[in-house]
Amino acid sequence: MRLIAVEEHFLPSEHGKEVMAGYGLPPAAAGPLADLGAGRIAVMDAAGIDVQVLSVVAPAAQEVPRPRAVDLARALNDRAAEAIRQYPGRFRALASLPMPVPEAAAAEAFRAVRDLGFCGVIINGHTSGRFLDSAEFEPVLAAAEELGVPVYLHPTYPPAAVIKAYGAGLDPAVAALLMTAGWGWHAETGMHVLRMVLGGVFDRHPRLQVVVGHMGENLPFSLLRADEVLSRLRPGRESVADTVRSHVHLTISGYTTVAPLQCALTVFGADRLMFSTDYPFGDPVQHATFLQTAPLSPEDRDKIAHTNAERLFNI
Ligand code: GRE
Ligand code: ZN
């Protein structure tokens, strides 16, 4: 069974300090993130992964002061393009974008997809506290829609006000994890998707497709509750749940237990779910074993393993 993993991170060592300034990475991640060579290919082979869709770890170029963000995003994308050339068929990539300069971000999306052959773009949550329903990001969303590629909406570190409010009174190391991979990232990214719906993004961009990781960033569990509360605000219009289910795809990254998988399948269906491992934060063998052993029909397993990604990302 062909296996395509669609949320797989890298970070060239020469850009590590600049991308992660002010944020902490697990120290063990630095080596695997920087490796786009034989070591990464060996990890993929050991897990039976045929293709990694590469993306720079959050926040990539998003919190770098302009205009430097523009050159940084180009350099990061050029590095991914080099890896694709070096290992034909094993890598594809999502473009990192200089979101602080939206016009340049749109231009970089065009360059990455048209000139470098990338299969989508990745946006790491808010940009200095501003979300994708904000008018300033319209050129970026219009570019993705025109190019016919999905926007991977990945979590990032929370806005300063959130860190202050939710971190108060906690050990800083505990607060840092609670507000990110331990819970907050998933709450915030699910909320970001709902902001996009309520802010009219999908009315303005009816062909736009978004991908969220982490088994749907809490959306499968809470979408119908949100629908009941929020659809009342939009009488006569498509329901919030239907809008989400026609514009959002999910990947499993970091979730390797059956209950969330079944919830995602029940609420979103097998045509909108894809495999990913969140490398190097998730273990590729654990994720691949989960996909192989989870209670799925052969048809659904195939869709999740590769056919959905082939269709959505044109791989
Ligand atoms: C992720 O990309 O999802 C991630 C990080 C850092 C730590 C944990 C994690 O970027 O899941
Ligand atoms: Zn990730």
The CATH number linked to 301 is 3.20.20.140
For ligand 2, a single-atom ion, the residues with CB < 5 A are 278
Residue 203 — pLDDT band, cuts 50, 70, 90? very high
Ligand 1 atom nearest the C-alpha of 282 is 11
Number of domains within the chain: 1
Other Cβ atoms less than 10 A from the Cβ of 29: the count is 15
Ligand 1 contact via 8 beta carbon (within 6 Å): no
The answer, yes or no, to whether the previous bond of 295 is cis (omega within 30 of 0) is no
Residues 6+ apart with CB under 8 A from 301: 1, 291, 292, 294
Ligand 1 contact via 278 beta carbon (within 6 Å): yes
Predicted pLDDT of residue 160: 87
Helix (H) or strand (E) holding 123: strand 120-124
Q: Is the pLDDT of residue 22 over 90?
A: no
Ligand with smallest separation from the Cα of 276 = 2
Residue 20 — pLDDT band, cuts 50, 70, 90? very high
Residue 20 lies in domain = 4-313
Which of 6, 57, 214, when mutated, tests ligand 1's pocket best, judged by the most ligand atoms within 8 Å of its CB? Answer: 57
What is the pLDDT averaged over residues 99-114? 98
- 57 CA distance to ligand 2 middle (Å): 7
